[in-house]
């Protein structure tokens, strides 16, 4: 839910789009959320999963949150032996992909 919320909040205000896709490939469940938001510099993208990062140097008065959402998503994803990948879109916006094993790994 946080990924979709972020995609909406950080989208272009006019004519913005959000895509959510899911699938299973080679025993991996894949969730991708992407939007048509602002172009993000690479140095900023690499910090987005750190706690208290807001994603843009520009703080909008109508946006709430303290920048913990992606840090929490990262922690949950890793706890389930998954990966989280953030990729800037060439035309602006961001693609976030969560990959999780389709089956839980046995606990010892």
Find, among 18, 11, 9, the residue nearest to 62 by Cα. 9
pLDDT at 71 over 80: yes
Query: 2-101 domain in CATH 3.40.50.620?
Result: no
Model pTM score: 0.84
Average pLDDT over residues 66-80: 91
For the chain, what are the domain ranges?
A: 2-101
C-alpha atoms less than 13 angstroms from C-alpha of 19 in its C-beta half-sphere: 12
At residue 108, the pLDDT reads 60
Residue 50, helix vs strand vs coil: coil
Say how many C-beta atoms besides its own lie within 10 A of residue 2's C-beta: 15
Q: What is the pLDDT of residues 15-68, one digit of tens each?
A: 999 999 999 999 999 999 999 998 888 888 888 988 887 665 544 555 566 778
């Amino acid at each position: 839910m946080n990924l979709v919320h972020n995609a909406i909040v950080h989208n272009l205000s006019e004519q913005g789009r959000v895509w959510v896709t899911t699938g299973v490939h080679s025993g991996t469940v894949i969730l991708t959320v992407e939007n048509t938001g602002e172009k993000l510099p690479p140095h900023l993208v690499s910090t987005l999963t750190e706690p208290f990062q807001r994603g843009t140097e520009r703080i909008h008065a109508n946006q709430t949150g303290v920048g913990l959402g992606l840090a929490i998503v990262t922690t949950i994803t890793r706890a389930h032996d998954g990966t989280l990948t953030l990729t800037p879109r060439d035309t602006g916006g961001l693609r976030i992909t969560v990959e999780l094993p389709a089956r839980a790994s046995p606990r010892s």
